[in-house]
Amino acid sequence: MIEVKNISFCYPNSKSPIFEGHNFSLKKSQVLAVLGPNGSGKTTLIKTLLKILPISTGTIQHSGRCSYVPQHTASPFDYTVREMTVMGAGGQHGMFSTPQKQDYLRCDEALEKVGMLSFAATSFTQLSGGQRQMVLIARALVSNPDIMILDEPTSALDYYNQNRVLQTIKELANQGKAVIFSTHCPLQALQVADQVLLVKKDQRSIFGTASEILTSRLLTDLYQIHIARDHSFPREIIAPIYD
Ligand code: ADP
């Protein structure tokens, strides 16, 4: 569904590439988690996958429509949550089409799923960061993509909503979609990802199955802080050991 071969990217005003030699692929019904420290190029990579930024070398092939959940979005107008969410239907009918009754039904269903239906008439700009993140996810659900790409979708969320987003990611994969998300939490990757890509500035990325990649050794090397993986806890856990 998505195949990335040997891509590199350099910002026009920058002397060295942000990344080089990323290689990975993802099939239908699979989830890929992208992990890496701040500034390692996760958002840049996502923007190249979406063709918002042009790659310098390599190839990206995907089949199907992509939907993108950015980390933040500024709303230029004073849209309500429902207006913001129903915009997701534009990807199917065209950006300037008027939403139909069934689009509003799908919109409200998506808002309910992310726990934001009671805010439907509230101004998007009056929401907290975490609430906005949930609305952006609802908007992407309305667009019903084949490939869903989410940039740190849980970064502003409490544990309950983090879990809600992880469950939604699993459901999307079960429906046959391919999902790519970036996260700072290896445990989230362990819970939902089939494949993992570790990115580190100025180094080759490491790609493989979640069980191969989410090891204490590779994660400790990635974040430069001891990260433990415990197989004996009632369920497997991965946690940083703070100094
Ligand atoms: P991450 O998502 O992993 O935190 P980013 O992809 O946002 O990392 O950024 C990777 C690097 O690219 C950072 O060093 C950042 O400063 C740089 N960068 C981001 N946007 C631009 C830009 N528009 N021009 C030049 N450098 C940029």
The Cα 111–Cα 92 span in angstroms is: 18
pLDDT in the model for residue 116:
97
Tally of structural domains, the chain: 2
Task: Assess whether the C-beta atom of 39 lies below 6 angstroms from ligand 1.
Answer: yes
Same domain, 51 and 152: yes
Q: Is residue 69 part of a domain?
A: no
pLDDT in the model for residue 77:
87
Same domain, 22 and 135: no
Residue nearest to atom 16 of ligand 1 (CA): 39
Contacts of 212 (CB under 8 A, 6+ apart): none
Question: Tokens 């580190």 — which residue?
Answer: 200
User: DSSP assignment of 129-146, as one string?
Assistant: HHHHHHHHHHHHHHT--S
pLDDT in the model for residue 148:
97
Same domain, 141 and 152: no
- How close is the Cα of 136 to the center of ligand 1, in Å? 22
Q: Is the pLDDT of residue 100 over 90?
A: no
179 in helix, strand or coil? strand
Final residue of a structural domain among 108, 129, 145: 145
Instruction: Tell me the mean pLDDT in the region 121-135.
Output: 95
- How close is the Cα of 14 to the center of ligand 1, in Å? 10
Instruction: Tell me the mean pLDDT in the region 98-104.
Output: 90
- How close is the Cα of 10 to the center of ligand 1, in Å? 10
Q: Is the pLDDT of residue 94 over 70?
A: no
- How close is the Cα of 164 to the center of ligand 1, in Å? 29
pLDDT in the model for residue 98:
82
Residue 77's alpha-carbon distances to 74, 81, 95, 104, in angstroms, are 9, 12, 16, 20
Grade residue 50 by pLDDT with cuts at 50, 70 and 90: very high
Contacts of 151 (CB under 8 A, 6+ apart): 42, 43, 46, 68, 69, 70, 71, 181, 182
Q: Is residue 96 part of a domain?
A: yes
Instruction: Tell me the mean pLDDT in the region 57-71.
Output: 94
Question: Residue 164: CA atoms inside 13 Å, Cβ hemisphere, count?
Answer: 19
Final residue of a structural domain among 145, 173, 190: 145
DSSP state of 62: E
Same domain, 136 and 161: no
Same domain, 82 and 139: yes
Same domain, 138 and 100: yes
Grade residue 165 by pLDDT with cuts at 50, 70 and 90: very high
Q: Is residue 168 part of a domain?
A: yes
Same domain, 139 and 150: no
Q: Is residue 34 part of a domain?
A: yes
Same domain, 46 and 162: yes
| Cα angle 45-48-19, degrees, rounded to a multiple of 5 | 45
Final residue of a structural domain among 116, 145, 174: 145
Supply φ then ψ for residue 68, to 5 degrees: -125, 130
β-pair type (2-9, 19-26): antiparallel
Same domain, 140 and 164: no
Q: Is the pLDDT of residue 134 over 70?
A: yes
Q: Is the pLDDT of residue 88 over 90?
A: yes
How many residues would you count in the chain?
A: 243
Domain range holding 33? 1-64+146-213
Task: Assess whether the C-beta atom of 14 lies below 6 angstroms from ligand 1.
Answer: yes
User: DSSP assignment of 4-49, as one string?
Assistant: EEEEEE--TT-SS-SEEEEEEEE-TT-EEEEE--TTSSHHHHHHHH
pLDDT in the model for residue 95:
59
Distance of alpha carbon 118 from its chain centroid, rounded?
A: 25
Same domain, 138 and 187: no
CATH code where residue 161 lies = 3.40.50.300
Q: Is residue 233 part of a domain?
A: no
The Cα 113–Cα 111 span in angstroms is: 5
**What percentage of residues in the chain have a pLDDT greater than 70?**
98
Q: Is residue 229 part of a domain?
A: no
Same domain, 91 and 126: yes
Q: Is 162 exposed, middle or buried (0-12, 13-18, 19+ CB in 10 A)?
A: buried
Task: Assess whether the C-beta atom of 18 lies below 6 angstroms from ligand 1.
Answer: yes
Q: Is residue 231 part of a domain?
A: no
Q: Is residue 35 part of a domain?
A: yes
Same domain, 56 and 167: yes
Q: Are the beta carbons of 196 and 33 closer than 8 angstroms?
A: yes
Question: Tokens 């500035």 — which residue?
Answer: 201
The Cα 103–Cα 117 span in angstroms is: 15
